[in-house]
Amino acid sequence: MHPTTQLLENARERVTFPTEELTKLIYVNDEIYETFMKAQKIIANEPTIRNHPDYHNWSRKQQIIKSYEKLRIMHQHFNLANAVHWAPLLSIFQGTTPTAVSFAMTVPALRFLGTDEQFNLWGPKFLTMEIVAAYAQTEIGHGSDVQNLETTATYDPQSNDFVLHTPSVSAVKFWPGELGFLSNYALVYAKLIFNGKNKGVHPFMVQIRDNSTHKPLRGVTVGDIGPKLGYSTKDNGYLAFDNYRIPLNSMLARYVRIENGQFSRHGNEKISYASMMVSRQLIIFIYPRMAAQALTVAIRYSITRQQFTNDKREENSVIEYQTQQDKLLPRLATCYGMIFAGIRIMQLVDDNFHRVQKKDFSTLQQSHAILSAIKAFSSQWVVDTTEWCRLSCGGHGYAHYSGIPAVYFDTAPNVTLEGENQVMYLQVARYLLKVLQYAEKTPEKVPFYFSFVLHVKETLANKDQNTSLGHWLKLTLTIQLIQVGKRIKDLMNTGKTFQQIWNEHVGIHLMSLAQRYAEYFIYLVFQEYIANANPSVKEILQQLCDLYCVQTILDNPNTLIESGQITQEQLKAFNELKIELFAKIKPQAIGLVEAFNFNDNALRTCIGCHDGKPYEYIYDWATKENSVNKVPQAVIDLMGTKIKAKL
């Protein structure tokens, strides 16, 4: 057996829990698991789809062309209208998935904001891909601040239709995915001008390209916005309208309507949150799994990579170094919490949808708050984790052949898109302050995952050092919430307006508060999973949860300290406990990453394969798959003697 294969096999033998029990938890149910396994296999076996080592040498144009070829093949194998089918694809092949935006954002918006007739008119055309539609909300000058969008849709009572117009450069739609090339329709958010009055921003289903030629229709300017940090195959686009007429039926009309020349509102507008929930929930569900890919590569590589000799004059696997464990093990622990939180949120959002469809809005706000907190927290965590995984692989981590840079490229935008993280956190903080008021006045209104506000006194009084680790997360959260509430009240008394205080005086505290809630929510879900888990994996899950808690406490102890809630001895004890947990989890690490069950192709790596051999594979790819090396004469002409001669 190859020595690095042997190192991995030895590590696998030391794993003491049944990995398949964790796999079951990770993949929720048989349908999701089997679809994912099938997708992995199909992609590995299809030459057009499978990982192409040379991909990152290509121009964006080449990559985009490849991406559309992939779309055709994927369409043969998968039902791209079903998230269970296309969502896993996001993480296991190169480049983004064309039509993902159309299905994850535009279709749900159509379902929730359109009338049944409107959904029946357009919905089926998405399934056959007769329609691919971008979600055109963001403008060059306006992102999160939807109410200040500038694009106008002016109702014309003469012709009983709308004139869509882009009044300035800052009003140009900018960033919508799949707008640049792919979409022939767009769901355009525009300010409705009705009888000269601004009736707020609403969505309009607009055809932008010709059905037969796919050329932009007259009055429409549309294209790709240029290269980005990652997302090279995603045709994020720009879109401008020059007094472009669209029919009355374009406006999604479940909650606002123009009939017989009269404008009217119907039902609960809060529903507009609901359609954003689908895409945010997918971000939470999918992307921690991409961090899991990076962790798989990093843990395997850390076992096969040997560097510096130990006392026995043998080279050490780098996983043996405490500093390496510190980079990877807390993140591996958190990854499980993130994945479980993603599943739980999927269930919460699903439950909320069923309620909303029955006009029950009772769980809408709490779902939105949890979703916002975890969307922001998890998207930043995924990017950070991917970066630490890259760094833990030394130089080779910087090579695209490691598979890790691409994970970074394609997860980085999630921090900004679908609700910029900072904006999300501020919304969460606002909801937490509201829930605190419920606790005082209408405790029955406090939702389950926020019930910590009902126990403020008990939490603050609990000085028992043997309490669960989660207590410290709850305590930190509680203190920060009380403090920021008080701070706002104090500042109001100095004559400042609420808005001024919110923007200029408590932003840092609000951000921190929302993050503490996210941490606590993940802990709660972690506990639920441990309670319900198969006995054979309860211990390892508890260790992961403990490490998650300890690391979280040590990352942000200031609140506990400033409020005198923690002693020097307790902090020291947490530091020791962390090291003890490293010793327990390190031998299980290979099992913990292999429970994610990614095949080599899905990892897009040559340094973290199932059979090891990082050096053989990286040399193989560099010498055989690297197109830059394949034009020796041109290269010589340009970079060799001739250029020197000209110097």
Q: For a copy of itself, which is the closer residue by CB, 160 or 627?
A: 627
Looking at the chain, how many residues does it have? Answer: 647
CA 196 to chain centre: 40
Contact mark string toward a copy of itself, 596..615, x via CB under 8 A: -------------------x
Name the residue nearer to a copy of itself (CB basis): 91 or 236. Answer: 236
Q: Which positions from 327 through 386 interact with a copy of itself, judged by CB under 8 A? A: none
Q: Which amino acid is at 152?
A: T
Query: Cα(533)–Cα(252) distance, rounded to whole angstroms?
Result: 44
Catalytic (active site) residue 418: yes
Nearest approach in angstroms of CB 644 to a copy of itself is 5
**What is the x/- site pattern for a copy of itself, positions 166-185, by CB under 8 A?**
---xx-x-xx----xxx-x-
CB of residue 386 vs a copy of itself: minimum separation in angstroms? 11
User: Would you count residue 18 as binding a copy of itself (CB under 8 A)?
Assistant: no
d(CA 248, CA 159): 9
Residue whose C-alpha is closest to residue 180's, from 48, 64, 279: 64
User: Contact with a copy of itself (CB under 8 A): which of 77, 554, 584, 599?
Assistant: 554
Q: Give min distance, CB of 140 to a copy of itself, in A.
A: 4
Q: Does 558 bind a copy of itself (CB under 8 A)?
A: yes
Instruction: Check residue 267 for interaction with a copy of itself (CB under 8 A).
Output: no
Backbone angles phi, psi at 183, to 5 degrees: -75, 140
Exactly one of 395, 448, 457, 463 binds a copy of itself (CB under 8 A); that residue is 395
Token pair of 500, please?
A: 């001024």
CA 558 to each of CA 377, 426, 467: distance values in angstroms, whole numbers, following the listed order: 19, 21, 20
User: Could you say which of 34, 360, 458, 504 contacts a copy of itself (CB under 8 A)?
Assistant: 504
Instruction: Give CA–CA dist 328/303, Å, rounded.
Output: 12
Q: Are 17 and 536 in contact (CB under 8 A)?
A: yes
The conformation of residue 182, written as its DSSP 8-state character, comes to T
In the complex with a copy of itself, which residue's Cβ is closer, 225 or 345?
A: 225
Burial environment of residue 361 by CB neighbours within 10 A (0 to 12, 13 to 18, 19 or more): middle
Residue 448 lies near a copy of itself (rule: CB under 8 A): no
Among 260, 262, 323, 532, binds a copy of itself (CB under 8 A): 323
- Minimum CB distance to a copy of itself, residue 499 (Å): 6
Phi-psi category of 587—alpha, beta or left, where left has phi over 0 and alpha has psi -120 to 50?
A: alpha
Q: How many Cα atoms are found within 13 Å in the side-chain-facing hemisphere of 527? A: 12
What's 50-84 look like in SS3? Answer: CCCHHHHHCCHHHHHHHHHHHHHHHHHHCCCCCHH
Interface with a copy of itself, residue 422, by CB under 8 A: yes
Identify residue 340 by its one-letter amino acid code: F
Confirm whether residue 177 is marked as ligand binding: yes
Q: Is the dihedral of CA 165, 167, 168, 170 positive or negative?
A: negative
Residue reference for tokens 């050092």: 465
Q: How far is the CB of 125 from a copy of itself (least distance, A)?
A: 11
> Given the DSSP bridges, would you call strands 197-207 and 185-194 parallel, antiparallel or unpaired?
antiparallel
Segment interacting with a copy of itself (CB under 8 A) among 36-44, 313-321, 433-441, 451-459: 313-321
CB of 399 to a copy of itself, least distance (A): 5
Given 14, 72, 270, 486, the residue binding a copy of itself (CB under 8 A): 72
Q: Which stretch binds a copy of itself (CB under 8 A): 346-354, 437-445, 497-505, 542-550?
A: 497-505
x-or-dash pattern for a copy of itself, window 115-154, by CB under 8 A? -------------xxx-x-----x-xxxxxx--x------
Helix (H, G, I), strand (E, B) or coil at 137: coil
**Could you tell me if 184 and 214 are in contact, meaning their C-beta atoms sit under 8 angstroms apart?**
yes
Among 88, 403, 405, 447, binds a copy of itself (CB under 8 A): 405
State the minimum distance, in angstroms, from the CB of residue 146 to a copy of itself: 10
Binding part of the chain for a copy of itself, among 104-112, 256-264, 336-344, 399-407 by CB under 8 A, reads 399-407
Q: Closest approach of Cβ 426 to a copy of itself, in Å? A: 8
Token pair of 612, please?
Answer: 């090891």
Could you tell me which of 104, 101, 98 has the C-alpha nearest to residue 74? 98
**Token output for 117:** 């007739």
**Nearest-CA neighbor of 62 among 232, 180, 222, 264?**
232
C-beta of 247 vs 557, nearer to a copy of itself: 557
Q: Is 561 in the site for a copy of itself (CB under 8 A)?
A: yes
What number of chain residues touch a copy of itself (CB under 8 A)? Answer: 133
> Given 139, 418, 519, 594, which residue is catalytic?
418
Binder among 23, 57, 249, 468 for a copy of itself (CB under 8 A): 57
* Residue set of the binding site for FAD: 138, 177
Active site residue ranges: 418
* Residue set of the binding site: 138, 177
